[in-house]
Amino acid sequence: MQKSIKIEVKRYIPEKQPTPFYQEYEIPLEPKWGVLDALTYIKDEMDGTLSFRWSCHMGVCGSCGMMVNGQPALTCATFLEEYLPGPIRIEPLDHFRVIRDLVIDTDDFMGKLKRVKPWLIPVEEKPLSEGENKQTPAELAAFKQYTLCINCLLCYSACPVVGLNETFVGPAAIALAQRYNYDSRDQGQAERHDVLLDHGGAFDCTLIGECSRACPKHVDPTGAIQRYKADGALEYWKRLILPRGAASK
Amino acid sequence: MDTQTQAPYKRFRPERYKPQMALSWWWQKPTYLLYILRELTSVFVATYAVILLLTLRALGAGGEAWSDWLTTLQSPGMIALHLVILLFAVYHSLTWFSLAPTALVLRIKDYTVPAKALVVAHVVIWLLCSIAIAAIVLTR
């Protein structure tokens, strides 16, 4: 029985050297450890300078996404046993700027997310006195899947378009735009069309499908984007042909 | 699209390492390779369209040009090319139909038609159309 496993971590320490390098750690192989437990062990027992993000340790916070042997994964939900006999190579999520070691800069994503306006945009504000906005189970089912996104950014790392085209708004942002587009309480489609029909919008997606394979929450951003392409193409022609303001409100 | 909604961070450690994508990215995962092959099918489909146009031109020129063109088409090289094109066209069609459910969500009242059923329906209709066209062309 194997007693230890080798972990190769891609490190970036800007004050030490301008380019990343790999560092190896040999850690004891505990049967039920996740990759995140291994990193925690390294930080606690071997090398306190190692930096990485984590929070909930149960696959809902979306903080601990990293490349594990070249695949984007939530390290809390990825187990050492799956990679025997090792070594396991851990790198920061692909296509993101790296701040330090395994910590990526999410500012670009946050900016993109904000642009698709992922919040309810009602035509008129309903006063609180009129009570809640009711939805039927069918109306909820129309968008519920897209609410499960935890912004872990695995889909951005999986997507070559994100890596090749910096302006692409990306899988999660479009899935979250669709989460509101399909919500019966929302009337903000026109504002989101402005972003999603533009350069860097949904039509920059070339349908590789890797985002949906990487998604730990089965949100299916591929589906969200393709469904948007169908709606967006219709909207494009409406805007071209119909008089001003007659297209979707 | 301008995605910059805030000024870049500058205060304490503003250094960022920007990773570069390898030119061979499409070779690094089987799913990427299958995607690139799917995109490449367009080259073969376009090649066939050109062959079809040349065939029409030869038909228009009539007589000798037409029989010359038929001889060219029967050369081993051309037959091999057609087989390759057929292979890519079939792959193109299969991937196209298998992706149909990503864009199409069919709801009948509260029932959502499963993705597999949509794919099977598309493939069956495709096969029926192909057989019908083959029957018309081959029985004439």
Q: How confident is the model at residue A246 (pLDDT cuts 50, 70, 90)?
A: low
Residue A135: which CATH number?
1.10.1060.10
Same domain flag for A206 and A236 = yes
CA distance A40 to B82: 58
Q: Which tens digits make up the pLDDT trace of A43-54?
A: 999 999 999 999
Same domain flag for A118 and A188 = yes
Q: Does any domain span residue A187?
A: yes
**Residue B127 contacts by C-beta under 8 Å, 6 or more apart in sequence?**
none
Q: Which of A81, A104, A127 is the last residue of a domain?
A: A104
Q: Give the pLDDT score at A223.
A: 94
Q: How confident is the model at residue A18 (pLDDT cuts 50, 70, 90)?
A: very high
Mean pLDDT of A226-236: 94
Q: Which residues of B touch A175 (CB under 8 A)?
A: none
Same domain flag for A224 and A181 = yes
Is the predicted pLDDT of residue A248 greater than 80, yes or no? no
Q: Does any domain span residue A246?
A: no
DSSP for A198-224? STTSGGG-----HHHHH-TT---HHHH
In eight-state DSSP terms, residue B110 is T
Query: Is this complex scored with an ipTM above 0.90?
Result: no
Is the predicted pLDDT of residue B54 greater than 90, yes or no? yes
Q: Which tens digits make up the pLDDT trace of A73-127?
A: 999 999 999 998 989 999 999 999 999 999 999 999 999 999 999 999 988 888 8
Q: Which of A84, A104, A124 is the last residue of a domain?
A: A104
Same domain flag for A75 and A117 = no
Share of chain A above pLDDT 70, in %: 98
Q: Do A206 and B15 touch (CB under 8 A)?
A: no
Same domain flag for A24 and A72 = yes
In angstroms, how far is the first alpha carbon of chain B from the final one? 55
Q: How confident is the model at residue B13 (pLDDT cuts 50, 70, 90)?
A: confident
Q: Which tens digits make up the pLDDT trace of B86-107?
A: 999 999 999 999 988 888 888 8
Same domain flag for A99 and A167 = no
Chain A (213-242) residues lying within 8 Å, Cβ to Cβ, of chain B: 213, 220, 222-223, 226-227, 229-230
Same domain flag for A80 and A167 = no
Q: How confident is the model at residue A242 (pLDDT cuts 50, 70, 90)?
A: confident
Q: Does any domain span residue A9?
A: yes
Residue A64: which CATH number?
3.10.20.30
Mean pLDDT of A10-37: 95
Same domain flag for A82 and A112 = no
If you measure CA to CA, which chain A residue comes closest to B35? A208
B10 vs A189 pLDDT, higher one:
A189
**Residue A52 contacts by C-beta under 8 Å, 6 or more apart in sequence?**
A39, A43, A64, A66, A75, A101, A102, A103
Q: Does any domain span residue A247?
A: no
Q: Does any domain span residue A132?
A: yes
Q: Which domain holds residue A126?
A: 107-241
Same domain flag for A112 and A226 = yes
Q: Does any domain span residue A23?
A: yes
Same domain flag for A28 and A144 = no
Q: Does any domain span residue A248?
A: no
Q: Give the pLDDT score at B23.
A: 93
Q: How many domains, chain A?
A: 2
B9-36 burial: b if 16+ Cβ within 10 Å, else e: eeeeeeebbebeeeeeebeebeebeebe
Q: Which of A104, A139, A158 is the last residue of a domain?
A: A104
Q: Does any domain span residue A207?
A: yes
Q: Give the pLDDT score at B4.
A: 56
**Which range has the worst mean pLDDT, A11-15, A126-130, B31-35, B51-55?**
A126-130
Q: Give the pLDDT score at A214.
A: 96
Same domain flag for A40 and A89 = yes
Question: Would an 8 Å CB–CB cutoff place B39 in contact with chain A?
Answer: yes
Q: Which domains does chain B have, with CATH numbers?
A: 29-138 (1.20.1300.10)
Q: Give the pLDDT score at A124.
A: 82
CA distance B58 to B67: 8
The rounded mean pLDDT for chain A is 93
Quote the strand ranges of chain A, DSSP E.
Answer: 4-11, 21-28, 65-68, 71-74, 88-91, 98-100, 103-104
Q: Do B16 and A98 touch (CB under 8 A)?
A: yes
Is the predicted pLDDT of residue B5 greater than 70, yes or no? no
Interface mutation target, options B11, B12, B17, chain A, most CBs of A under 10 Å: B17
Same domain flag for A166 and A47 = no
SS3 label, residue A98: strand
